[in-house]
Amino acid sequence: MYSKQQFAKMIDNTLLRPDATKDDVLILCEESAKRHFASVCIFPCWVGTAVRALAGSDVKVCTVIGFPFGGTTRLTKVFEIKNAVANGAKEIDAVMNISKFKSGDHEAVAQDIREMVEATRMAAGIGEEARRVLLKIIIETCYLTETEKEIASRIVRDAGADFIKTSTGTGSGGATAEDIRHIRRAIGPSTIGIKASGGIKTIQTALTMLDAGANRIGTSSGVALYDSYSPD
C-alpha cells in the first residue's frame, strides 16, 4: 500500500481541455501545489504561467509535444521541446509519430524519438542533474495491435526516453492494466518508467494501473483521486 504522499507523487495532474483558460491553469497549479503532485500537465502556451505559479513548490511543470497525433516533423518537435524547456518545463510528454508507425516505417519513428531525446538532454543541460528533464513518449495504445505495442515499447526504450506513456486521452481508448503488463513484458528488466493515462477517474482504476507496473498516473481527476485516497 502506498502512503498518501507516495500516491501524490505518482500523479500528473492534467489539464488539456481545448477550452481551458488561464484561470483554470492557475487553479490547477494551486490545487496541485497543495497536494504535492508529481507535476501539472498543460499545453505549451501555459508553461511560463505554471512555472511562475508553482515557484517554490515541489510540483514540476509538464507539457505536451506533437500533441495529440505525433504527426508533426522532427524539426517541429525538436523546436517545441527546446522552447518548452527554455520556458521552464521539467517534463515532456511527446507523441510518437503514429501515422508513420502504422505505415511500418519504424526506423523513421525511432529517429524521431532519438532526436527528441537528444533535444531534451541538450536543452536540460548535460551533466546538470538538478535540471534534468524527463521525456515520456506516448505510443497511443488504442491504435496498436498487441505486436505493435511490443515493437513501439522497444523502440522507445532503445531510443533512450525516460517513460513510455500509454495514451493522449484523446483517442478511442485509454490505459488498461493489460497494456501496462504487456509493455512491462516487452521492455524487460529496464529502468524506463510507464505512465498510464486516459480514463483514470477512480482510486481502484489508479491502483490497478500501479499494481500492473505503472510508475505514474496521468489524470484530469487528480484532486478527486488524492482527496478520496485513504491508505488505512
Taking only the tens place, the pLDDT of each residue in 194-222 is 999 999 999 999 999 999 999 999 999 99
Contact between 165 and 93 (Cβ < 8 Å): yes
Q: Cell 485516497 sits at which residue?
A: 229
Which of 93, 112, 162, 179 does the annotation list as catalytic?
93
C-alpha cell at 151: 515493437
Active-site residue flag, 93: yes
Which of 60, 136, 149, 165 does the annotation list as catalytic?
165
CA-to-CA distance for 204 and 40, rounded, in angstroms?
A: 22
Determine the structural domain holding residue 12 and report its residue range: 4-228
How many independent structural domains does the chain possess?
1
Active-site residue flag, 100: no
Return the CATH number at 131: 3.20.20.70
At 60-106, the pLDDT tens digits run 999 999 999 999 999 999 999 999 999 999 999 999 999 999 999 99
CA-to-CA distance for 138 and 153, rounded, in angstroms?
A: 10
Active-site residue flag, 58: no
Residue 217, Cβ neighbours under 10 Å: how many? 26
C-alpha cell at 131: 535540471
Cα–Cα nearest to 96, from 141, 51, 50: 141
